Amino acid sequence: MDDLLERAVGLIQQAGASYGDVRLRHDHTERLAVKNGRPEHIARSESAGLGVRVIVDGAWGFFGTHRLEKGALEETVRQAVDIARASAAAQTEPVRLAPVEPTTDEYETPHQRDPTAVPLEEKLDLLVRATEAMRGPNLRLAQAFFSAFDTHQDFASTEGARIRQHIVQTGGGIAATCIADGRLQVRSYPNSFRGNFGTGGYEFVEAMDLVGEAPRVAEEAEALLAAPPCPEGRRTIILDGGQLALQVHESCGHPIELDRVLGMEIAYAGDSFLTLDKLDTFRYGSEEVHIVADATCPGGLGTFGYGDEGVPAQKTPIVEAGRLVGYLSSRETAPAIGRTSSGAMRASGWNRIPLIRMTNVNLLPGGAGSLQDLIADTDDGLLMMTNRSWSIDNKRLNFQFATEMCREIKNGRLGRIFRDATYTGLTPEFWGACDAVCGWEAWHLWGTPNCGKGQPGQTARVGHGVAPARFRGVQVGVKA
Amino acid sequence: MSASAEPWRDPAARERRLLALGQAMVRESRADETEVLLADGREFLTRFAAGRIHQNVGTEEAAAVVRVVLDRRVGVATADSLEADALEAARASALAVAEASEPDPDWPGLPKARAVKPVKAYHRATALATARTRADFAAAVIAAARERDGEAAGIVQTDEGTLAVASSAGVAVAHSHTRAEANALVTCGDGSGWADGVAVSLSDLDADRIGRRAALTAEKSRRPRPLDPGTYDVVLEPAAVAEWLQHLAQVAFGGKDFEEGRGPLSGRLGQTVTGEQVTLWDNARDRRTLPRPFDYEGQPARRLSLIRGGVAEGVATNHYRARRLGKRVSTGHALPASSSYECVPMHLFMKGGRASAKQLVGEMKRGLLVTRFHYTNVLDPMQTVLTGMTRNGTFLVENGRVVHAVRNLRYTENVLAALGRIDGASKRLTRVPGPCVAPAVRVRGVQFSGVTEF
């Protein structure tokens, strides 16, 4: 395969490209789903191919192919070059790339048990036992999930970079669905939408204790069916880790993508309220709010050694004491803010170009201690747990989230359960109302495996480290 | 260059090749039952923004989905390749999965072959469209927007592909198609507008019209004023209607959720579920959509009535769900066996009315005109409650006239109930990317729960 890469780089140079890179990638994916004690869905997939990206006459072209024979290489490079020449016809300014030191290196995410090599029977047994441990009179669906993503990638650029990476990502979780009287309630663990995900091996799922948590999850789903709806009003809310991770994702992670800020995504997912003039001056949140984009964070779903244009993984300050200080950037976009790339370019496969993607966009821990400490410090509020629904406008200002479960807080203690809880707000106001963030003891990494962006569409797996946090005066309860 | 090196020049030959490959795999399989789905195609997409092409990509992709059954134990594996080694690995992987699984007492066997009538969905010039063709299209959109002082961003896409399904139950079908899509989001100061199109042939899309239409809306939507959240009558343009219908398809019209009792129509077929003015159906064979002759199990596509006159009539099924629902054959809406969603309608239609789009606005005393929605998501699947934002042109209408643009609003609404409050629909149906063929509609009393700053 080294030979294939070198040959591709040689062909790109011969074609007169001012820059080019090649990614040879092989993805092995496994997804298991068990329902009511029986395997419902078992699917394995293999995908291997080559993506060639070039700059010719100052403009980009990309072509990807699943054909890895040498004969297909010339055609692949020719296609990429032809596409770039067509782009150049409409080009006003030539693409300029921020400098990066070409590296020769190998990187592998740490893992103990290869998740795809663990026998299927062992994985299914764990999931079956987890679903069998969920019980309840209205329990309609007891589900358990496992996913593994194993990616090998070789990267070479005309600048001399030669990088080999092996990324292993694993995830799993359980969900109980109770239905009665036309109402449906779902309770999940450790997170909704198939669980939690991170870089690591099968040990990541084993540590979840899915079987041990299953009875509680089912009981809470039953309790939600009988619970009253969450009342409307301006309230103090505490978000648990899973919900807060998605709040960070939608209201911070996306608007700091510099391609969005520069209008490159405006026709699809949208642009950003965090315009360039706000860098280093805009008050994004309260002084409690410190956010970094950290691709070096051990175990994060957005952890890697190098981005997909050969830039080393980095830890980039984004929000310091509430002030916006950085963006996620690429080699092409970083010059717009006078900086070098933050190393955030990633592609979902060999058949897609790298885009600016979140790495691990983490809310740093504060001084509020554990979740129990924060609850004890709250006289009157709501604890909102585990995402159920999300939506946000195309500049990432107006959002609305729904959570699976909500608990009343009175005089520092948890009280009644509420169902169908929602909250809504505007991003800077919401983060400006953050008055407490829990400490390291409550800080946890959450994986978001379904981050969509780009055309053609790409799904990225990204991470968010958060500790539960408290927000004052938030609008709760939106009814249809 | 030889024909074999450029297989996209001869779709019929490619169909024969994929079918032969699939049938050979079926013949050589040691499983009780085997189904092989093979796909091969190319996609090209040009993205433009700020007056330039900033992303321009092409791929050639292949896919194989192998489903095997051993003693009622089902295994599925996929490969993104048609090479012999990759296909053999996929078959071996599917067998390993089946061996590790448990017998499914409800397994009905793979669906048997049924007659499939071909549909015309391939346009040779679109399949052969060059990067230069797409760049010229983008330049025309940009130029049309600039005539109205707008700046356009968007895409021009041309795809072509072939799908073949072969199985031990005798299924052996293949089909080739092309697809062209273009859109433009035009900004004009603080105003924005949108226009799009999708077709079998790129020649059916008009770059100038897309650019002008989006620019016109952008111009009108400048200086949007804040409007309090509340309940408003609305005229929804077809793109907004399609967004509701496509989400409804996901939560309400899939046979899996329906059969599991977690869909809003579960147990309600034959009952009135919305207003009598609502008639929805799916028909992959209709020329007004992007036609397909069969589904991913090789079963013939056919018209499926979902809601007629407000009464729930059907849900989409694959063979497995059809049998569990007591039907002999599926509705022809199977997804690939690798998909856990199993079956959904993907060629939706909504019946129109008698009005023109202008009349819908002209007859409204006070309300909103909505171009499209953004980031719609499901709040409550059983109650079909959705939330999302308006985008790219939201206008206040008073006494039948658009008076000014308003800042984008968030809606939170029970969509089945809202459709029941439609009091006017356009005669003209528009094909919206998805695809979905829908009219513009006027809906009474839609709940808007929030407002943003632009």
Residue B2 pLDDT grade (very low, low, confident, very high; cuts 50, 70, 90):
very low
Cβ–Cβ below 8 Å for B262 and A398: no
Rounded to the nearest angstrom, the gap between the alpha carbon of residue B184 and the centroid of all alpha carbons in its chain is 19
**Would you say residue A221 has pLDDT above 50?**
yes
CA distance B12 to chain A (A): 21
Residue B104 pLDDT grade (very low, low, confident, very high; cuts 50, 70, 90):
very high
**Rounded distance between C-alpha atoms, residue A30 and residue A65, angstroms:** 22
HEC per residue, A94-124: CCCCCCCCCCEEEEECCCCCCCCCCCHHHHH
φ and ψ at residue A449, rounded to 5 degrees: -90, 5
Determine the pLDDT at residue B354: 96
**Would you say residue B295 has pLDDT above 80?**
yes
Nearest beta carbon to residue B86 from set A46, A90, A184: A46
**Rounded distance between C-alpha atoms, residue A104 and residue A156, angstroms:** 9
- Convert the pLDDT of each residue in A35-83 to its tens digit: 999 999 888 999 999 999 999 999 999 999 999 987 899 999 999 999 9
Enter the DSSP assignment of B202.
G
**Spatial CB neighbours of B4, under 8 Å, sequence gap ≥ 6:** none
pLDDT, mean of residues B311-322: 98
Determine the pLDDT at residue A172: 98
pLDDT, mean of residues B36-64: 97
Residue A92 pLDDT grade (very low, low, confident, very high; cuts 50, 70, 90):
confident
**Would you say residue B435 has pLDDT above 90?**
yes
B3-204: CATH class: alpha beta
**Spatial CB neighbours of A106, under 8 Å, sequence gap ≥ 6:** A163, A164, A165
Determine the pLDDT at residue A480: 64
Report CA-CA distances (Å) from A198 to A149, A222, A300, B47, B154.
10, 29, 5, 32, 34
- Convert the pLDDT of each residue in B358-389 to its tens digit: 999 999 999 999 999 999 999 999 999 999 99
Nearest CA in chain A to B267: A182
Cβ neighbours of A221 in B, within 8 Å = none
CA distance B249 to chain A (A): 17
Determine the pLDDT at residue B6: 61
Cβ–Cβ below 8 Å for B378 and A263: no
**Among residues of chain A, what percentage have pLDDT more than 90?**
96
B75's enclosing H/E stretch is strand B73-79
Residue tagged 């103990």 (tokens): A112
**Rounded distance between C-alpha atoms, residue A400 and residue A271, angstroms:** 18
**Would you say residue A165 has pLDDT above 70?**
yes
What type of residue is A140? Answer: R
Determine the pLDDT at residue A322: 98
Q: Does B143 touch chain A (CB under 8 A)?
A: no
Mutate to test the interface with B, among A23, A26, A40, A41 (most CBs of B within 10 A): A41
Determine the pLDDT at residue A182: 87
**Would you say residue A374 has pLDDT above 60?**
yes
**Would you say residue B4 has pLDDT above 70?**
no
Residue B409 pLDDT grade (very low, low, confident, very high; cuts 50, 70, 90):
very high
Cβ–Cβ below 8 Å for B410 and A398: yes
Q: Does B2 touch chain A (CB under 8 A)?
A: no
User: What SS3 state is found at A382?
Assistant: strand
- Convert the pLDDT of each residue in B212-244 to its tens digit: 999 999 999 999 999 999 999 999 999 999 999
Determine the pLDDT at residue A91: 83
Q: Does B190 touch chain A (CB under 8 A)?
A: no
**Phi-psi map region of B328: left, alpha, beta (phi>0 left; psi -120 to 50 alpha):** alpha
Number of H helices, E strands in chain A: 9, 23
- Convert the pLDDT of each residue in A266-302 to its tens digit: 999 999 999 999 999 999 999 999 999 999 999 999 9
- Convert the pLDDT of each residue in B158-212 to its tens digit: 999 999 999 999 999 999 999 999 999 999 999 999 999 999 999 999 999 999 9
Determine the pLDDT at residue B49: 97
Write out the E strands in B249-365: 280-282, 304-308, 311-312, 348-350
Determine the pLDDT at residue B271: 98
**Would you say residue B1 has pLDDT above 90?**
no
Contact A449, A194 (CB under 8 A): yes
Determine the pLDDT at residue A469: 98
**Would you say residue B285 has pLDDT above 80?**
yes
What ipTM goes with this model?
0.95
Alpha carbons within 13 angstroms on the beta-carbon side of residue A421 total: 30
Mutate to test the interface with A, among B45, B59, B342, B407 (most CBs of A within 10 A): B59
**Among residues of chain B, what percentage have pLDDT more than 90?**
97
Size of the A and B interface in Cβ pairs below 8 Å? 250
**Would you say residue B17 has pLDDT above 60?**
yes
**Would you say residue B3 has pLDDT above 50?**
no
All domains in chain A, ordered by first residue:
2-226 (3.30.2290.10), 233-476 (no CATH)
Beta pairing class for A380-392 and A233-239: parallel
Nearest beta carbon to residue A86 from set B97, B135, B374: B135
Nearest CA in chain B to A476: B449
φ and ψ at residue B359, rounded to 5 degrees: -65, -40
**Would you say residue B357 has pLDDT above 70?**
yes
**Spatial CB neighbours of A372, under 8 Å, sequence gap ≥ 6:** none
Shortest CA distance to A222 belongs to which of A166, A177, A263, A182? A177
- Convert the pLDDT of each residue in A113-151 to its tens digit: 999 999 999 999 999 999 999 999 999 999 999 999 999
What type of residue is A226? Answer: A
**Rounded distance between C-alpha atoms, residue A3 and residue A156, angstroms:** 11
Nearest beta carbon to residue B408 from set A83, A266, A393: A393
Nearest beta carbon to residue A120 from set B5, B100, B138: B100
**Among residues of chain B, what percentage have pLDDT more than 70?**
98
Q: Please give the mean pLDDT across all residues of chain B.
A: 96
Domain edges within chain B: 3-204, 224-454
